[in-house]
């Protein structure tokens, strides 16, 4: 098996004001864990800037133009209470898009089995024409639409286990019966969407969890609601919105997941991808705001992608180096 | 968001419930920023616990009254409620 890691230094240069939870240190924590010798077999590439025409597969021209025009030459500007741009943000969001589309190319062309995009800012809250919740472009929805456009895929799925509901991805997919969106998330919580009753064209599957819920209820939600729907959908490509803020240590969520739960869901998604689409998975980082919880969870997630079952569920011991 | 909010322990049931309802409405309507969302949710949880505790105390007082052996409502001395 082989796994591609897409990354770029600019992801540590996008920096909201001091005290903001979606901070560059998140990316440094991810870089640190993925520099461990356990990950030396990762194939590593710098993420190029995504093509504007690919962004336009999801976002209208007026919106893209407005984001580009908002980019400051110095300092930071707020698009809303959560969502900021500094002089590096525009490049970062374009490289996050480029990471997703390059990852799609790599798995579709059988260069690698799967890919992880270590990117920020996240994307799953960005709606077609609205930046919110730290997100500007809906990177994973763009990757999904790109896969359909470039490779003629009929059915592309996104599974999202971030603690917050991916309202943006749901918004983009809402009327697209051949795009699957399945999400576990805490409710009530930002952004307020994600009820079971939100079903789109029968292609949206929300499985809300309650504050305090742990791995057993997370797994039950996946097993009873998300996985059967995904299996029936028969995806030709599986994308993962990999947010790790459902971790028990996270300050922005109240779920109680542990590293082994992230390993478990990764392995089960790999099983389903193996059954339906030769294992093709592209995973993109979304949230995760406790640096220790984020890095160890990314560690087990990427280990699972690299090695499948076996040692995957064991967290990397950072004390080893 | 809780810096200027009143101390929950001092709030009446009605005030706590009103704030809790406002919090639920805000969360469901997506009117809260992502960064503040969890803090607001946690205040809601504390308000809910405060309301639950007051309700439990009120229920215990009613139980005390109804348990009077002669059937009369002879007092409203609260039971110990944890």
Could you report the average pLDDT of every consecutive run of 10 residues in chain A (321 residues)? 95 95 97 96 98 98 98 96 96 98 98 98 98 98 98 98 98 98 96 97 98 98 98 98 98 97 97 98 98 97 90 54 35
What ipTM was estimated for this complex?
A: 0.76
pLDDT at A310: 56
Q: Which run of H or E residues covers position A282?
A: strand A281-285
Q: Between B19 and B76, name the one with better pLDDT.
A: B19
Question: Which residue among A133, A188, A211 places its CB closest to the CB of B34?
Answer: A133
Residue A19: how many CB atoms within 10 A of its CB? 7
pLDDT at A309: 80
**Contact list, A132 vs chain B (CB under 8 Å):** 34
Q: Which phi and psi angles does A283 have, rounded to 5°?
A: -110, 135
pLDDT at A318: 53
Residue A188 to residue B28, Cβ atoms within 8 A: yes
Question: Which residue among B27, B29, B31 places its CB closest to the CB of A189?
Answer: B27
Q: Between B3 and A139, name the one with better pLDDT.
A: A139
Over 90: is that where the pLDDT of B82 sits?
no
Residue A32: how many CB atoms within 10 A of its CB? 16
Buried b (16+ CB within 10 A) or exposed e, B57-80: eeeebeebeeeeeeeeeeeeeeee
Catalytic residue numbers of A? 125
CB hemisphere CA count around B18 (13 angstroms) = 6
Over 90: is that where the pLDDT of B70 sits?
no
The C-alpha atoms of residue A49 and residue A70 are separated, in whole angstroms, by 18
pLDDT at A54: 98
Q: What value does the mean pLDDT of chain B take?
A: 81
The C-alpha atoms of residue A195 and residue A278 are separated, in whole angstroms, by 32
HEC readout, A261-319: HHHHHHHHHHHHHHHHHCCCEEEEECCCCCHHHHHHHHHHHHHHHHHCCCHHHCCCCHH
Say whether A296 sits in a helix, a strand or coil: helix
The C-alpha atoms of residue A130 and residue A178 are separated, in whole angstroms, by 23
The residues pairing with A277 across neighbouring beta strands, listed in sequence order, are none
Q: Where do runs of H (alpha helix) occur along chain B?
A: 13-28, 34-66
pLDDT at B4: 62
The residues pairing with B49 across neighbouring beta strands, listed in sequence order, are none
Residues of A with CB under 8 A from a CB of B: 20-21, 80-82, 125, 132-134, 164, 167, 188-193, 211, 251-254
The C-alpha atoms of residue A217 and residue A209 are separated, in whole angstroms, by 8
Contacts of A247 (CB under 8 A, 6+ apart): A253, A255, A257, A258, A259, A262, A288, A290, A293, A294, A297
Report the candidate in A227, A245, A253 with the shortest Cα–Cα distance to residue B42.
A253
Q: What is the pLDDT of residues B12-69, one digit of tens each?
A: 999 999 999 999 888 888 889 999 999 999 999 999 999 999 999 888 877 777 766 6
CB hemisphere CA count around A87 (13 angstroms) = 3
Report the candidate in A192, A184, A174, A108 with the shortest Cα–Cα distance to residue A138.
A174
Beta-strand relationship, A77-78 and A84-85: antiparallel
> What is the reported pTM?
0.90
**Contact list, A162 vs chain B (CB under 8 Å):** none
CA dihedral over B19, B23, B25, B31, signed as positive or negative: positive
pLDDT at A197: 98
Contacts of B50 (CB under 8 A, 6+ apart): B8, B9, B11, B16
Q: Between B81 and A97, name the one with better pLDDT.
A: A97
């Amino acid at each position: 098996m082989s796994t591609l890691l897409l990354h770029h230094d600019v992801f540590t240069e996008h920096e909201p004001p001091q005290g903001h939870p979606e901070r560059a240190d998140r990316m440094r924590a991810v870089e640190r864990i993925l520099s461990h010798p356990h990950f030396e077999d990762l194939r590593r590439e710098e993420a190029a800037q995504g093509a504007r025409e690919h962004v336009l597969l999801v976002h209208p021209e007026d919106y893209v133009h407005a984001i580009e025009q908002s980019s400051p030459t110095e300092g930071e500007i707020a698009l809303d209470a959560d969502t900021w741009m500094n002089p590096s943000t525009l490049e970062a969001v374009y490289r996050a898009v480029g990471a997703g589309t390059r990852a799609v190319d790599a798995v579709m062309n059988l260069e690698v089995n799967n890919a992880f995009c270590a990117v920020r800012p996240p994307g799953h809250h960005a709606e077609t024409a609205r930046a919110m919740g730290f997100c500007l472009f809906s990177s994973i929805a763009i990757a999904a639409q790109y896969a359909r456009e470039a490779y003629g895929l009929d059915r592309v799925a996104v599974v999202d286990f971030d603690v917050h509901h991916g309202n943006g991805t749901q918004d983009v997919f809402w009327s697209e019966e051949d795009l699957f969106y399945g999400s576990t998330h805490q409710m009530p919580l930002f952004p307020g969407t994600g009820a079971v009753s939100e079903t789109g064209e029968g292609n949206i599957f929300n499985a809300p969890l309650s504050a305090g819920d742990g791995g057993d209820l997370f797994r039950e939600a996946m097993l009873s609601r998300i996985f059967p729907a995904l299996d029936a959908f028969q995806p030709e490509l599986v994308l993962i919105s990999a947010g790790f803020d459902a971790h028990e240590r996270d300050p922005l969520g109240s779920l109680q997941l542990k590293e082994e739960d992230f390993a478990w869901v990764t392995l089960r998604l790999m099983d389903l991808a193996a059954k339906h689409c030769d294992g093709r998975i592209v995973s993109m980082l979304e949230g995760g705001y406790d640096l220790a919880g984020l890095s160890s969870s990314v560690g087990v997630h990427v280990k699972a992608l690299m090695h499948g079952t076996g040692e995957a569920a064991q967290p990397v011991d950072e004390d080893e180096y | 968001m809780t810096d200027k909010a009143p101390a929950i322990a001092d709030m009446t049931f009605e005030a706590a419930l009103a704030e809790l309802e406002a919090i639920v409405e805000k969360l469901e309507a997506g009117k809260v920023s992502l960064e503040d969302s969890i803090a607001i949710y946690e205040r809601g949880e504390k308000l809910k616990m405060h309301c639950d505790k007051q309700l439990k105390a009120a229920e215990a007082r009613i139980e005390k009254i109804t348990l009077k052996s002669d059937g009369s409502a002879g007092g409203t001395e609260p039971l110990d409620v944890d």
